[in-house]
Amino acid sequence: MASFIDTWLEGAEDGWGVPALLAVFATLWTTFLAIAYLNADLHPDVIEAWTIGRTLDWGGAKHPPLMGWVTHVWTLVFPVSDWSFHLLAMVNSALALWIIDLTTRRFAKGDKRAIVLLLLMLLPVYQFQAQRFNANSVLFAVWPLAIYCFLRSFETRNAGWAAAAGLAAALAILGKYYSAFLIVGFIFAAILHPARRTYFTSAAPWISAAAGLLLLAPHVHWMLTSGTSPFGYALAAHGGLGAGRALLSGVTFLLGLAATLALPGLVWAVMIRTRAGDYLRGLRPLDPGLLLLLLVAIGAIIAPPVVSLTLGSSLTAVWASPGLFAFVLVAVCAARFPVDRAETRRLAAGILVVTFAAVLLAPAHAYYRNGHPFREGRNYYSRAAAEVMQRWRQVSSQPLKTVSGDKLAMALAFYAPDHPAFVVPFNQQYVWQMPSEAALREGWATMCLPDEETCLLWLKQIAATAPGAVAFDFVVQPRLWGTDGVPARITALLVPPRAAN
């Protein structure tokens, strides 16, 4: 094992070590997801990202468009299936780690490059959070890209890197508005860095601003003309807190980030335990580039609680996870001495063992979820869709055109062979509305879970007014390796095409 790991570590500088690590990482964790969720379908966030991406636009009711753009491009190559979206999640994580390595190699070589990536693999970010490909995880690669471009722009003041920094920052905004705090981090770092005068007296910051605004302009135009703003959803979902609760949310946010970084921090401290004094003495002065990265990370983390307290809104640590890599990178690259190869071997072997153990334990997770269903109903999505489509074929020979409703109806759009269009029947304040006359005339369906009281009431209102509506209940029961899971009663409503009535 030692010689195998040594060969791989030497390959980091030969150009194949990091790609090999990331390929193994993506393969093993995709395998884990495929097995662990054998008896469960995709998370509703992933299905929502696919739904948004079916039509390319510059915005959406809940989130900016980037996650939809990515899923749209992905499904041009890969099928609409669970395994392909598991693969997307892990490819996204591997891409994020590769971009992080681009930054790391500016400050370290060989073993330290590997150590940064291995320590980051101790975070839950790139495996478990990543499996929900949504507006948060789409930023895993975009934030490191923006930070890398900003670093190059700050160091060189080159017009090309300045434009790239602005475009990457704008792309992060198009992923999630929370990325505004990344830009705050850039400003914070540029102001506090000793080289601030050189940077601000150059054209670089203004080129970055112009490039970013240029990319954001179509999205701003969309918001002004569409009558829909994701800001409204964000404020409705996370606003309205009193000062005390907002303060508690900010403190919890910071504690959550500290807890997330605790394990890699502890492992790194153990790795350099014999040279702790040398390490601490070498922190001053910190390399100017590392100082810039550290200031960006600090600025992007202290700004959200301040704004949250001001606006009375909530925070969650998951939102800041795309930028946590900077703390690990700075911590490792700040060491002015080589790390003992034996420590690096142990870290690599430990990561490999933990990853293989996760894959081997994946069937246990699937079996557990067979008897303990996900509260969002993931255990029933594809089975319920199959049942509804069987009933649809009995009432109409035409494809199902449109569905609307909540999570279960969105899953029907994904898992039904017809892939009907999903039209949200409520606005961003979640006021449920009747489907359009055109949708009902061309063929429409919905489903509700038994605990979705608002959805069930809405379904009954439509059933009472839509011509030819067919309402029915059915029971779906997952089954895994000969063991029955927990059954669920689903309520569905079909409105066949008007000509078929």
Q: Read off the pLDDT band of 437 (50, 70, 90).
A: confident
CA gap 136, 233 in Å, rounded:
16
Nearest to 295 by CA among 392, 491, 154, 158: 154
Query: Would you place residue 174 in the very low, low, confident or very high pLDDT band (cuts 50, 70, 90)?
Result: very high
CB 494 within 8 A of CB 402: no
Residues sharing a CB contact under 8 Å with residue 352, sequence separation 6 or more, in sequence order: none
Closest CA to 425 of 377, 459, 395: 459
CA pair distance 406, 384, nearest whole angstrom = 14
Q: How would you class 403 by CB atoms within 10 Å of its CB: exposed for 0-12, middle for 13-18, buried for 19 or more? A: buried
pLDDT of 26 higher than 90: yes
474 beta partners: 490
Q: Are residues 62 and 119 in the same domain?
A: yes
Whether residue 316 sits in one domain with residue 191:
yes
Rounded Cα distance, 256 and 244, in Å: 18
Please check whether residues 319 and 452 belong to one and the same domain. no
- Please tell me the predicted confidence (pLDDT) of residue 429: 43
Whether residue 436 is predicted with pLDDT greater than 50 in this model: the reply is yes
pLDDT of residue 499: 57
pLDDT of res. 427: 42
Is pLDDT at 501 greater than 60 in this prediction?
no
- Host domain of residue 396: 381-500
| Same domain, yes or no: 412 and 358 | no
372 within some domain = no
- Kindly state whether residues 320 and 388 are assigned to the same domain: no
Rounded Cα gap, residues 59 and 220, in angstroms: 9
Assigned domain for 371 exists:
no
Chain segment 254-267, per-residue pLDDT in tens: 999 999 999 999 99
Last residue of a domain, one of 300, 332, 363: 363
Instruction: Map tokens 């991406």 to a residue.
Output: 53
205 with 332, same domain? Answer: yes
488 vs 288, 448, 474, CA distance in Å? 59, 11, 8
* Residue finishing a domain among 337, 363, 389: 363
Residues 344 and 406 in one domain: no
Residue type, 370: N
Lowest mean pLDDT among 23-32, 240-249, 488-497: 240-249
Coil/strand/helix, residue 129: helix
pLDDT tens digits for range 322-357? 999 999 999 999 999 999 999 999 999 999 999 999
Half-sphere exposure of 205 (CA within 13 A, CB side): 14
Domain match, 203 and 302 both: yes
375 in a domain, yes or no?
A: no
DSSP letter at 432 equals B
Same domain, 314 and 410: no
What span, in angstroms and rounded, lies between the C-alpha atoms of 331 and 170?
Answer: 28
**Residue 94 placed within a domain:** yes
Share of the chain above pLDDT 90, in %: 75
| Ramachandran angles phi, psi of 190, nearest 5° | -65, -35
What pLDDT was estimated at residue 23? 96
Q: Does 319 share its domain with 201? A: yes
Domain count along the chain = 2
**Domain boundary residue, one of 307, 333, 363:** 363
For residue 369, being part of any structural domain is answered with: no
Q: What is the mean pLDDT of the chain?
A: 91
Average pLDDT over residues 218-233: 76
